[in-house]
Chains A and B, each alone.
Chain A
C-alpha cells in the first residue's frame, strides 16, 4: 500500500483532472494564448521596409544616393521601388504599399555645392514610425559626407583660410568620414516572441495553481474532510503535504506539455532541455512553497482566494509575464528580479539567446531556490496551524 501522502496526492490529482477546469488552466489556456501571440506577431518579428524613391534630379549626387539605397548592406532591410512622381509615391505611402518614400528634388545635385542646398523630403505614414525613422537614418547617413565637406570648408574659412582655397584643397584631399562603425557579431540568437511568451504564459497559469490548491484545502477542511482523514492513523502533516504534492505534480506536467507543444508546433526555443528542465523544476517548487504559505496565512476559503489572487497577479505583473520586461523602465526590470517568475523568465531568455546549458541558469536557479527556501521555512511554521484550526 502506498504511503498516505501519495494516496492523498493521487486523490487530489484525479479530482482535478475530472474537473475540466484543471485541463483548461494547465494546458489549453496557456497554449491557446501563446499560440495567439505567436500568430499575431508573425510579421512583427522582422522589420522590412518598402521604400519608394522619386528621383526628379538624375544628377551625379542623386544617382549616388539611389545606388547607395540599392547597396547589398541594405538589401535585407529595405526593398527600393521607383515611383515616377511625388503624387504616386504619396499614394503608395498613404495606402500602406510603401512604408515611406524619399523624394530627390530637381536640381539637387547642382545645389549641394552652393550656399543654399536643396533638401531631400521623406514622406511618412504616421502609423509606421519605425519605417520613417529608418528612412530618415539612411538618408542622413548618405548626406553626412556632403554635409561634412560643407562644414569642413566653412570651418577652415572661420579659421582664416579663404573659402576658395579651402574648397580647392578639399577637392584634392579626397576626404572620407574619419569615424566609422564596425559591426561585430557576438553569437546571440534572436529572441523570438514565442520563446518569451511561451514560458511567460506557462508560468502565469502555473501561478494559478496557488489559487486552486489553497482554495481546495479550505473547501476540504470546511466540509470536515480533513478532520475525518485525521481519524485515520496518519500524521496530520501528511494531509497538507499530499495536497501540496498534487500541485507539484500538476505543475510539472503542465509546464512539460507546454514546453513540448510550443517547441514542436510553434518553434519556441526553450534552450538546453536539461537546463530548462532544472529551471522549470525549481520554479514549480517555488510555486508549491508559495501555495503552502498561502494555506498557512489564510484562515478561511475567502481569505485564501483573496490572498492567492493578490499573490498570483502581483507576481505575474511584476515578473514580466504580461509585458516584455526588457522593454520596461529600469525600475520595473529591477522589481521583476524580486519575483521567482521574473528570475525564471530571465533564465529562459538567456537559454534561448545564448544557446548555452546549465551554467547559464545557475544565477536564476540559485535565486529561485533562495526564494523557495525562505517561503517554505515560513510556511513550515505557519501551515500546521491551518490543520488544527
Chain B
C-alpha cells in the first residue's frame, strides 16, 4: 500500500501546481485547436483574386473558381495586396481580373488575365495549372457565346446565358479519377490529425519536464530519508513510476475526451485505442523516470526536457506526417517511440485498424517503455543501495 501512498503524493504535487496544470491541461488543448485549424494545407490550393473593375464577367469566373473543389479562394482589394499575399505564401497564385473584362469578352480578340506567380517556384506553378483549368472552362462558355452571337440573331449576353444553361446538357469529355488501390498512410486532416499527434507529443514532453520532481527529491536526499522507514527501495521506485503513469493517463484521457467532445475526433477501435493510450503512458513514465536519473538539476530538466520532447516529436511525425519526408528521415524517426505511436494512431484512425493490426507498434512501444523503466530502476536502485 506504500506504493499507492507514494503515487498519491506525486499526483497531489501535480494537481496543486498551477504551472503543471497549465502544461498538462490548457496548453495541449490550445495547440490541438491551432494546429487542427491550420493543417489543411496538404491538399488545398489557395488562390487569390483581385477584381479591378471586371464587371459581371469577373463575377462569373470567380463563382466558377469558388465552386471548384480543392481550390480555396481569397479576395484582395488591390493588385499590390495580391502580390504581397503571393510573396508571403498566403496564397499560392493570384488572378487579376482586369478593368473592362466584361466588354472585352464580348469583343473579338483574346482576353488576357494576369496570373501572379513566379515561374521559378514549383508550388506556385502547381497552383497555376489549377487556375488555368478553371479559366479554360470559362473560356469555353465565352467561345460558345461569341460564336452563337456571330452566327445567329441573339446578342452576346443572351448567348452567354444560353451557353451557361446549355453546358450541363452537353456531354463533356470528362477526366475521371480513380484510386489505384492505396490506403491512406497519414492521419486525416484537421483535428483528427492534431489531437492524436499532440497526445503523443504532450504526454511524453510533460513526463520529461516532470522529471524535475525526481531530481528535486534526489538532491534533497528525500529517497534516502524514506529508506530510514520500513520501505524498500523497490517500493519507492514503483511509487514514483506509478505517479508518472497516473498523470500521463489522466492527460491522455483528457485529450481523448476533449478531442471527441469539442473537436469531433473519432479515436478508432476502442480496445486498441485504450491499450495504445496505456502503453504510451508507460513509455512516458519510463522516459520521465530515466530523465530524472540523468539530468543534473531541475533547471536542466525544465530547459532540456521540452526541447528534447519537441525534437523527438518532430522526428517521430507529431508535427508533420513522416510520409512527406525522405526515407532516411523516416528510418531515423523510428528510433523515437513517437514514430511508432503515430503509426499506430494512423492505422486506427485512417485504416480502421484493430488490435491485431497495431500489435507490432504496441510491442515496439512496450519494448521502449520496458527499456526506459529498467534503466531508470537500475540507476535509482544503485543509488539507493
| Residue positions of A touching B, CB distance < 8 A | 19-22, 24-25, 28-29, 32-33, 36-37, 39-48, 76-77, 89-90, 93-94, 101, 112, 115-127, 129-130, 132-134, 136-141, 143-152, 154-156, 158-161, 166, 169-170, 173, 175-186, 188, 190-191, 205, 208, 212, 302, 305-306, 309-310, 313, 317, 322-324, 326-329, 332-333, 346, 349-350, 353-354
Contacts and interface: CB of A to CB of B under 8 A. Distances in A.
A301 to B, nearest CB: 10
A20 B299 CA distance: 9
Contacts of A326: 88-90
B307 A29 contact: yes
B112 A136 contact: no
A158 B162 contact: yes
Contact of A112 (B89, B141, B173, B326): B173
Contacts of B87: 186, 188, 191, 350, 353-354
Q: Which of B111, B118, B131, B162 has the most CB of A within 10 A?
A: B118
B186 interface: yes
Given A76-B125, A136-B175, A306-B22, A24 B166 contact: no
A45 B326 CA distance: 12
A157 to B, nearest CB: 9
B175 A42 contact: no
Interface string B35-47: 1011111110110
Given A45-B123, A302-B18, 20 more contacts: A21-B299, A33-B311, A33-B314, A43-B324, A43-B325, A120-B173, A120-B175, A122-B178, A134-B130, A145-B140, A148-B143, A152-B147, A152-B148, A159-B162, A160-B153, A177-B139, A181-B113, A181-B115, A205-B307, A349-B88
B176 A121 contact: yes
B170 A154 contact: yes
B115 to A, nearest CB: 4
Interface of B: 17-19, 22-23, 27, 30-31, 34-35, 37-43, 45-46, 61, 70, 83, 86-90, 95, 105, 109-123, 125-126, 128-133, 135-148, 151-154, 159, 162-163, 165-167, 169-186, 297, 299-300, 302-304, 307, 310-311, 314-315, 320, 323-326, 329
B145 A93 contact: no
B38 A324 contact: yes
A134 B126 contact: yes
B172 A117 contact: yes
Contacts of A33: 307, 310-311, 314
Contacts of B137: 140, 144, 147
